[in-house]
Structure 1
Amino acid sequence: MGFALGIDYCTLVFPASEAERLELVTVQDVVAWLYPNAPLAVGPVEAKRWQFYAESAYIFSPDGKVVGRIGLGGNGNGVCVSLSGAGCTLVDDWFCVSVQARRLRAHISRADIAFDDFEGQIFRDIREVNVWALEGKFDAKQGRPADTYMIDDHGKGKGCSVYVGSRGRKQLCIYEKGKQLKDRHSRWIRCELRLWAADCVLPLELLYSPLAFLRGSYALLEEILPQEAEAAKPERIARTVNATAHAALKFLRTQCGPTLDLFIRAIGPDVWPLLQERVLRSEVPRRFKGVARDLETLRTIVREQLGFSQTDYMNLAV
């Protein structure tokens, strides 16, 4: 599959009185209500100001990565629950979220929609996208031209980005996602629409019909994007792991290759128990945190993306 679609950021705001009406006593109750079946844990509420809220607590993924935040004591005693892209990947049913949010009388204050073009079928070249922006192809039919700019990596392989619009209202960001994940040869480009409820209402339908809102945001996107695209989470996770794993191998070769080669050649077969006892740690590396639901799932995807079977793994571990 060459495309994937999904919600990549979501902030919901609602009155604290509605949580009380539904007998949601703790912040964990609130998050579990909004995102049932999502493996999200909430830390302790602290007297730390966050945005317009007097108190806040962090939201964590199963591997301990911060993937969101909840704010309490806002204007009019409001409550805010915000999930980052890593948090959104843990949500399986956005229609259910919209139903739960409606029962809580919540509204969206910010949402990001991400469309992934893994092989560059639509967005063939980021510099072509920049030309579209310069030619005004993202401009509305009426009103002033949209502000646009490009962040250029000048050929360093870190990835370029093209921005249309401004933060706080509506912004389109098209960028080289694969290269951002340190895969210099990746063709993966992400088209991301960022929406804020600054002077408009973002309907809850956006959560389960994101492609319609993405295509409708700019005439050019309606013309070039497919009319249907699946929310192919497994494909997106696999692509993320693939790019990250190959970047990690490059890091190991550069930073640790000579040392590991010395130990292997000096010690021979006994080097594996030595590495297990004194070097290896059974935890999720920082660059992989928030990618998969748990460590065993991550190991399976890494094994598949690097071309190893379960039999290869068992033989290596013996």
Structure 2
Amino acid sequence: MKNQGTAIIDWLSFTWEGWSDCNVDKMVRLWLREWMREPLAGESGNGLYGFEHSVTFYSFDFALEEVPVAILAWGGDRQRGRCYLSINGTGCSLIKDWQCVQRIAESIKARITRVDVAVDDVQGEMIRLDEMPAWYEDGKFNAGGRRPTYKVEGDWFTDLGAGRTFYVGRRQNGKYCRVYEKGKQLGNRESPWARFEVEIHNVDRVVPHDVLTKPSEYFVGCYPICETLVDVGEERIKTLRAEHEISLDRLRGYCRIAYGKLIHVMRLQAQHEPGYDELKLIDELCVQGLPRRLAKTALHMLKTAPPAGAPPQGVNHGNV
């Protein structure tokens, strides 16, 4: 395998054993802050997946908005000291030190239960949905000499602009592939952006810790076709910027349709008032926070530091 390419990790879940309930949430919060180098807060939950306790961790770098990045679960007699941590796609995009993640995972003998590795082709030059069926028939998705199952969803026989998805394999078998038109999924029906993503589970296999620092190598090993794709991907910051622009344009369009005429009337009225200022009109319409559609990308594109000493709103600090 070659240690090149721009495959990224877009989801990570792992478990570990031998810890008591005492302060596990505080320790994991320290890990996340070290990995992401971001201020974090946590909100206690009511357990998860048979665990007695849970905490959802949030990043709040932009306008004190809470954006979920990870969830921790632990406790319960049946778990026998086992703990579970899952970092979502937003959380993975914030991690700046994957070597540190691997080091901690190795030190606690963590068992990776899920990791998603992906390549983004923003220009659509190599990952083309039209070619997926032919690639499949040519054996380029074969694994161990066997041809996995496949299915399709989306605009394969229509042109509604929502995009297409090509699935290979099954989650219950430990390896599940999704190839989809990412730009169209985000709302730009003219976008050529495609993503090739493989979801790997620890079913009949041990997922090695070094996948965290060598995702391109493991992406190449997933299917024969992957070796030709690993070097076409864009760097993560470029894909985040593209995602932000598409999502922002989509929301701007919704705003124009729903409230454009109202804003026009308000501006005409304001122009007849002494001291007219369009910025004042914008301030009157603003509500602090983030649309869910922009929660991930705004953390990167529009990051601002919260006021000193200001806790994130709506998050329970007393339990984490």
Change (3 A) 1:59 1:130: farther
Change (3 A) 1:152 1:229: closer
Question: Contact (CA 8 Å) 2:267, 2:281: kept in 1 or not?
Answer: no
Q: What's the CA shift for 1:139? A: 2.0
Indicate which of 287, 293, 309 corresponds to 1:287: 293
Structure 1: segments with no counterpart, 5+ residues? 299-318
1:181 paired with 2:180, answer no
Which runs of structure 2 are paired with 1:234-249 in the superposition (5 Å)?
234-249=237-252
In the alignment, residue 70 of structure 1 is paired with which amino acid? L
1:208 paired with 2:213, answer yes
Which runs of structure 2 are paired with 1:23-62 in the superposition (5 Å)?
25-33=23-31, 36-38=34-36, 39=38, 41-46=40-45, 48-62=46-60
Change (3 A) 1:70 1:205: same
In the alignment, residue 208 of structure 2 is paired with which amino acid? P
**Partner of 1:167 in structure 2?**
171
Q: What's the CA shift for 1:42? A: 4.6
Change (3 A) 1:49 1:58: same
Question: Contact (CA 8 Å) 2:166, 2:179: kept in 1 or not?
Answer: yes
In the alignment, residue 11 of structure 1 is paired with which amino acid? S
Q: What's the CA shift for 1:228? A: 8.2
Change (3 A) 1:238 1:227: closer
* Alpha-carbon distance in structure 1 between the residues aligned to 2:41 and 2:175: 30
Change (3 A) 1:292 1:53: same
In the alignment, residue 235 of structure 1 is paired with which amino acid? K
* Alpha-carbon distance in structure 2 between the residues aligned to 1:190 and 1:25: 39
- Return the TM-score normalized by structure 1: 0.82
1:5 paired with 2:7, answer yes
Q: What's the CA shift for 1:13? A: 0.9
Deviation digits for residues 93-149 of structure 1 (CA, Å, limit 9, x no counterpart): 1112101111122121100011100101111x3122234235543123524x21100
SS at match of 2:296: coil
Indicate which of 264, 278, 281 corresponds to 2:284: 278
**Partner of 1:262 in structure 2?**
265
In the alignment, residue 28 of structure 1 is paired with which amino acid? K
Deviation digits for residues 183-228 of structure 1 (CA, Å, limit 9, x no counterpart): 1111110110100002110001101101111111101222x22458
Q: What's the CA shift for 1:75? A: 2.7
1:219 paired with 2:224, answer yes
Structure 2: segments with no counterpart, 5+ residues? 305-320
Indicate which of 67, 85, 88 corresponds to 2:89: 85
SS at match of 2:83: strand
**Partner of 1:121 in structure 2?**
125
Deviation digits for residues 12-39 of structure 1 (CA, Å, limit 9, x no counterpart): 211143x78xxx8241322322561412
In the alignment, residue 252 of structure 2 is paired with which amino acid? L
In the alignment, residue 172 of structure 1 is paired with which amino acid? C
Change (3 A) 1:4 1:156: farther
* Pairs aligned (count): 288
Question: Contact (CA 8 Å) 1:61, 1:290: kept in 2 or not?
Answer: no
In the alignment, residue 179 of structure 2 is paired with which amino acid? I
Deviation digits for residues 56-92 of structure 1 (CA, Å, limit 9, x no counterpart): 1112122312222101026332001101101111101
* Alpha-carbon distance in structure 2 between the residues aligned to 1:183 and 1:16: 48
Question: Contact (CA 8 Å) 1:237, 1:291: kept in 2 or not?
Answer: yes
* Alpha-carbon distance in structure 2 between the residues aligned to 1:296 and 1:229: 24
**Partner of 2:314 in structure 1?**
none
* Alpha-carbon distance in structure 2 between the residues aligned to 1:213 and 1:277: 48
Change (3 A) 1:120 1:277: closer
SS at match of 1:289: helix
**What is the alpha-carbon root mean square deviation over aligned residues?**
2.6
Alignment identity in percent?
25
* Alpha-carbon distance in structure 1 between the residues aligned to 2:178 and 2:255: 32
SS at match of 1:60: strand
**Partner of 1:139 in structure 2?**
142
**Partner of 1:302 in structure 2?**
none
In the alignment, residue 206 of structure 1 is paired with which amino acid? V
Change (3 A) 1:246 1:4: farther
Question: Contact (CA 8 Å) 1:211, 1:228: kept in 2 or not?
Answer: no
SS at match of 2:221: helix
